[in-house]
A and B are shown apart, each in its own frame.
Chain A
Amino acid sequence: MGMARYIQPAVRELRNDPQAGEYVELILVPEEDNTDELRERVEAVGGEPTREITFGMLAIEIDQAALDELCDLAGLKSITLDEPMEVLESGNPNPDPASQN
Chain B
Amino acid sequence: MLVSRITEFFSSAATFHHYQVTDLADDIPQIRLDPFADAIQAAIDDGIDIVNLSVGIHRAKCPGVCPFCEAAKRAVDAGITVVAGSGNRYTYAGPTRVFCPARREGVIAVGGMEVHCPKSIDIPGVGCHSGTDDSPGPYWMNKRADAEYGADLAEGVYCGQQGCLDDDDCLVENTERSWSGNVRPYRDKPDVLAPVHYPVARGDGKLELKAGTSFSTPIVTGIVGMVIDEFRQETGKPPDPAAARRAVRESAEPIGESELRKLNTTRMMNTLFPI
Listed in ascending order, the chain A residues whose CB lies under 8 Å from chain B are: 5-6, 8-9, 27, 29, 51, 53-55, 57, 59, 77-78, 80, 82-101
Contacts and interface: CB of A to CB of B under 8 A. Distances in A.
A29 to B, nearest CB: 5
B211 A91 contact: yes
B91 A6 contact: no
Interface string B69-110: 011001000000000010111110000000110000000000
Contacts of B22: 87
B37 A89 contact: no
A25 to B, nearest CB: 11
Contacts of B46: none
B147 to A, nearest CB: 10
B204 to A, nearest CB: 10
Contact of B70 (A9, A51, A55, A85): A55
Instruction: Report the 3 A-B pairs with minimum CB-CB distance, sorted nearest first.
Output: A91-B88, A92-B211, A101-B131
A51 B133 contact: no
Contact of B34 (A9, A29, A51, A90): A51
Contact of A90 (B132, B141, B212): B212
A56 B234 CA distance: 37
Contacts of B74: 55
A99 B55 contact: no
B71 A89 contact: no
Contacts of A53: 33-34, 37, 67
Contact of B65 (A59, A77, A88, A97): A77
B252 interface: no
A57 B33 contact: yes
Given A55-B71, A96-B206, A97-B141, 17 more contacts: A8-B62, A29-B65, A29-B67, A57-B67, A83-B57, A85-B68, A86-B31, A86-B55, A86-B56, A87-B29, A87-B54, A88-B88, A91-B88, A91-B212, A93-B153, A98-B140, A101-B131
Contacts of B196: 91
Interface of B: 2, 22, 28-34, 36-38, 40-41, 54-57, 59-63, 65-68, 70-71, 74, 85, 87-91, 99-100, 112, 121, 130-133, 135, 137, 139-142, 144, 146, 148-149, 153-154, 179, 181, 196-197, 199, 205-215, 217
B55 A8 contact: no
A6 B37 contact: no
A29 B64 CA distance: 12
B66 A93 contact: no
A98 B37 contact: no
A99 B65 contact: no
B210 A89 contact: yes
B191 to A, nearest CB: 16
A85 to B, nearest CB: 4
Nearest to B58: A86
A8 B63 CA distance: 11
A88 B54 contact: yes
Given A91-B196, A92-B212, A95-B210, A80 B137 contact: no
7 contacts: A80-B59, A83-B57, A86-B56, A89-B2, A91-B179, A98-B140, A98-B142
B214 A89 contact: yes
B168 to A, nearest CB: 21
Contact of B89 (A51, A91, A101): A91
A5 B140 CA distance: 46
A90 B214 CA distance: 9
